[in-house]
Structure 1
Amino acid sequence: MKIRTIEEINNKIKDGEATVLTAEEVSKLVREGNKPKAEDVDVITTGTCGIMSGTAAIFHVPVAEPGAFKKAKSVLLNGVPGFPGPCPNEWLGSVDMIVYGTSHSIHGNRYGGGFLFKDIVSGKDIEVEVESTNGEKIKSTVNIEDIGTAQMIGTRLAFKNYNSFVNPTDKPVSSIFNAIDLEGPFKGFTFSGCGELNPLQNDPIMKTICAGSKVLLNGAEGYVIGRGTRSSDEKPNMMITADMKDMDTHYLGGFKTGAGPEVFDSVAAAIPVLDDEILKETFIQNKDIKLPVTDIRGRHNVLGFTDYDDVWGGADERPVYHPERCLNCDVCIVRERCPTGAYSDTLNTRRCFGCGMCAYSCPNAAFTMESGSVQFEIKDRSIELPIVCRQSDIKRARELVAELTKRIENGEFILNEC
């Protein structure tokens, strides 16, 4: 039975009277035996942060004076390839292009689209190199103030549920699913997903988070276009777009993996509590969310199952750096492996992703972090593995959820009807 309408909820938001709970607050109440009632809650806020490979950006970038060249054949932004078009942009001196968050710089395998996007949003100067169809080479420098359009589109973001990965072989495997080559056999465990906080875990059939819904993408108000690529009833995800000029650099960036740089994003969505059925879906708890354990050589090969309570229960959000233990090694393995470049003599806690790679890697225990371990059954035997890399950041997810909650409570975020 319908309790209220979107319009009624929006009126309460505008009047500063809406009752908002985060998905984690709802799950905590349920664990304590205090299930909330639909008539007492107006909005549930949800969110996630992690590697989201389906991220791209559409740019309109000025390069030279009009008439300087006919049109672009190729373009590089800080060495990261863009794809000119689809408009020909003849004689305009500017280029429309699309850049993939997973593209790698031609200058090396440590910089790519995700790092570029963060640099653009932060206002840094970006080196542009264009080769025209006539063979001319034009170089210029731009920043976000110069770029006419900077629109991000996520083609498949915020899956309801993810896979986790192990290496059952005796040879290291290079993959996007770990910050470094994953050792085996069964030496470590890597995973993604924010469990009970994740948007579509709380709205699995996309009843309220659907085409036209307003969300936060990296801190900017954006919209759900519809279901993303590879979306299925079992594993739905969203296609989302937002203006990069409104984004917060804290919520997006590059993430180096064993197979090269990737991109991470943060998404937060609001669930309007229109009836009891919608609210009950948000009662989900980490212990109830299965996490398939798969072979890192192919996610189709499921070896066993764990759950999100195992991977997040009791885990630290961030490592602790102990500089007195640092022996200033000739080659710092932490500096080499840190996926976001958060460590260089000191630990930049804001840039840190909380992946756990530093604590796993440092031979001198200069970094400590409770990353936890998982236990699962495979072929009639029990296996316990340390969590060596988290490709989702629960801290950033919680921060963006808190931001969305604040905006709703302050009357600054009005919900859309699907």
Structure 2
Amino acid sequence: MLNRSIEEINQKISQGEARVFTAEEVTRMVVDGEKPSASEIDVVTTGTCGIMSGTAALLHLKVDEPGSFKKAKKIYLNGVPGFPGPCPNEWLGSVDLIIYGTAHSIHDSDYGGGFLFKDMVAGKEIEIKVESTHGEIIESSTTLEEMGTARMIGTRMAFKNYTAFVNPDSKPVSSIFNAIDMEGPFQGLSFSGCGELNPLQNDPVMKTICMGSRILLNGSEGFIMDHGTRSTSKKPNLMLTADMHDMNSHYLGGFKTAAGPEVFDSVAIAIPITSQEVLEQTFIKNSDIKLPVADIKGRHLPLTETDYGKLWNGTESRPTYYPEKCINCATCLVKERCPTLAFNQGLNRKKCFGCGMCAYSCDQGTFEMKTGSVELEIEKQIFDVPIACRQSDLKRAREITRDLTRRIEKGLFSIYKC
């Protein structure tokens, strides 16, 4: 049986000879009756994109000239509160801070840390407001390019196991797990996860994905710091970091939910094929991956289960927009509900996340999208539940996976040895 070292694989990468396939491509081979061999594949690339609430940014930025204030007591970027420190930077005119992707602006309830991070990476000017320990108010502005340090840290990202949610009751429920108050009973289902493309689905025991492994986080090359918070052997996730200066704003952003703005990120990880055993872990299909379905009011109490084949296979990644069907409602539910602010007098496809909320909300047929539905058996009753909201974007996940694939093929990305 073939056993290959990481050094051998990296040598092939450096020579531009590595044979690289995405996890979806490998799975399609298996579905088509082929038997992929480790002698024919050097690297399998994986990826995911979705809401990752544990996202934060560690920043160092200039606020004013040295000597202008002693130290910051409070700081806001575009109205989003950060936490100054731990270094006080006395009299330096600059601030070290950490800011959460889930933080909410004090000025705009729809704007939060995720939207701020996207604006920063896109090169937009960011408004700064500092309240010093002596009560002075200092206002200025900056850009990401001017920040000395801007490092994203994801305390828990790329979960292997997710949970889908429904509301079995008639009263709507507000939650971060749906873009709007979830209607019921069983009026819609929300879910996360990119199924067979997801990194930890393709290396479930983390044989090749480990602390120190190189990754792409929102297009920036970073690394795995450790297991993420709340990670267990049965439900693993990852703690990741990368420099925000090298990120691509397309891969990250804010996502409005019924309980306030969240943050989404994109991650890609390479799996070196050191043996046939490692390769065969990547044969997993969407239909093989079970997904618990829970009451949105009690997320740890599954009602039943489904699988990613029922949620992703045969669906569309983006809506089709028919502006001629729009009747200009006094209150446009699509504009009001769109989690990434992609609809405003037209559909901004670059901002679109493919969540499906537009097609779910508009009853005029202005938006059409095959998001599918799923049959759930709960207490011996069958419910046909439409997919109301996807909190993961398979299209972006595929794009960042292809990005990683190209870098490896060009010899620009090497594999870390666990």
The answer to whether the superposition gives a TM-score over 0.5 is: yes
In the other structure, the counterpart of 1:48 is 48
Q: Is the 8 A contact 1:63 1:138 kept in 2?
A: yes
- SS of 1:299 mapped into structure 2: coil
- SS of 2:300 mapped into structure 1: strand
- Residue 381 of structure 1: how far off its partner (Å): 1.7
- Residue 327 of structure 1: how far off its partner (Å): 1.2
- Note the 1:73-112 alignment, pairs <5 A: 73-112=73-112
- SS of 2:123 mapped into structure 1: coil
In the other structure, the counterpart of 2:283 is 283
- SS of 1:232 mapped into structure 2: coil
- Residue 330 of structure 1: how far off its partner (Å): 2.1
Q: Is the 8 A contact 2:165 2:177 kept in 1?
A: yes
- Residue 299 of structure 1: how far off its partner (Å): 1.2
Q: Is the 8 A contact 2:2 2:39 kept in 1?
A: no
- SS of 2:299 mapped into structure 1: strand
Instruction: Measure, in 2, the Cα distance between the counterparts of 1:343 and 1:3.
Output: 51
Counterpart residue identity of residue 287, structure 1: S
Counterpart residue identity of residue 280, structure 1: E
Q: Is the 8 A contact 2:2 2:38 kept in 1?
A: no
**Relative to structure 2, which stretch is displaced further, 296-305 or 193-202?**
296-305
Q: What is the percentage of aligned positions where both structures have the same residue?
A: 65
Note if 1:381 corresponds to 2:381.
Answer: yes
Note if 1:113 corresponds to 2:113.
Answer: yes
In the other structure, the counterpart of 1:303 is 303
Q: Deviations over 1:172-213 (max 9, x none)?
A: 000000000000111111100000000000001111111000
Instruction: Measure, in 1, the Cα distance between the counterparts of 2:195 and 2:35.
Output: 19
- The count of aligned residue pairs is 418
Instruction: Measure, in 1, the Cα distance between the counterparts of 2:380 and 2:337.
Output: 35
Instruction: Measure, in 2, the Cα distance between the counterparts of 1:288 and 1:139.
Output: 54
- Residue 89 of structure 1: how far off its partner (Å): 0.7
- Residue 93 of structure 1: how far off its partner (Å): 0.2
CA RMSD after TM alignment: 0.8
In the other structure, the counterpart of 1:366 is 366
Counterpart residue identity of residue 300, structure 1: H
Q: Deviations over 1:301-328 (max 9, x none)?
A: 1000000000001110100000100112
- Residue 108 of structure 1: how far off its partner (Å): 2.5
Q: Is the 8 A contact 2:121 2:247 kept in 1?
A: yes
Q: Deviations over 1:20-66 (max 9, x none)?
A: 11000111111112120111110000000000000000000100100
Instruction: Measure, in 2, the Cα distance between the counterparts of 1:35 and 1:387.
Output: 34
Note if 1:353 corresponds to 2:353.
Answer: yes
Instruction: Measure, in 2, the Cα distance between the counterparts of 1:288 and 1:131.
Output: 53
Counterpart residue identity of residue 59, structure 1: L
Note if 1:339 corresponds to 2:339.
Answer: yes
In the other structure, the counterpart of 2:198 is 198
Moved over 2 A (4+): none
Instruction: Measure, in 2, the Cα distance between the counterparts of 1:108 and 1:246.
Output: 28
Counterpart residue identity of residue 12, structure 1: K
Q: Is the 8 A contact 2:179 2:357 kept in 1?
A: yes
In the other structure, the counterpart of 1:4 is 4
- SS of 2:145 mapped into structure 1: coil
In the other structure, the counterpart of 2:314 is 314
Counterpart residue identity of residue 279, structure 1: L
Q: Is the 8 A contact 1:58 1:149 kept in 2?
A: yes
Q: Deviations over 1:351-404 (max 9, x none)?
A: 100000000111211000000001121111222100000000000000000110
In the other structure, the counterpart of 1:22 is 22
Counterpart residue identity of residue 135, structure 1: G
Instruction: Measure, in 1, the Cα distance between the counterparts of 2:381 and 2:171.
Output: 22
Instruction: Measure, in 2, the Cα distance between the counterparts of 1:191 and 1:73.
Output: 39
Instruction: Measure, in 2, the Cα distance between the counterparts of 1:414 and 1:11.
Output: 9
Q: Is the 8 A contact 1:177 1:257 kept in 2?
A: yes
- Residue 117 of structure 1: how far off its partner (Å): 0.2
Unaligned residue ranges in structure 1 (runs of 5+): none
Q: Is the 8 A contact 2:153 2:239 kept in 1?
A: yes
- SS of 1:50 mapped into structure 2: strand
- Residue 337 of structure 1: how far off its partner (Å): 0.5
- SS of 2:39 mapped into structure 1: helix
Q: Is the 8 A contact 1:3 1:39 kept in 2?
A: no
- Residue 131 of structure 1: how far off its partner (Å): 0.3
- Note the 1:19-418 alignment, pairs <5 A: 19-418=19-418
Instruction: Measure, in 1, the Cα distance between the counterparts of 2:18 and 2:374.
Output: 39
Instruction: Measure, in 2, the Cα distance between the counterparts of 1:291 and 1:383.
Output: 16
Instruction: Measure, in 2, the Cα distance between the counterparts of 1:100 and 1:128.
Output: 16
TM-score by length of 1: 0.99
Q: Is the 8 A contact 1:26 1:35 kept in 2?
A: no
- Residue 161 of structure 1: how far off its partner (Å): 1.7
- Residue 2 of structure 1: how far off its partner (Å): 5.2
Instruction: Measure, in 1, the Cα distance between the counterparts of 2:322 and 2:392.
Output: 24
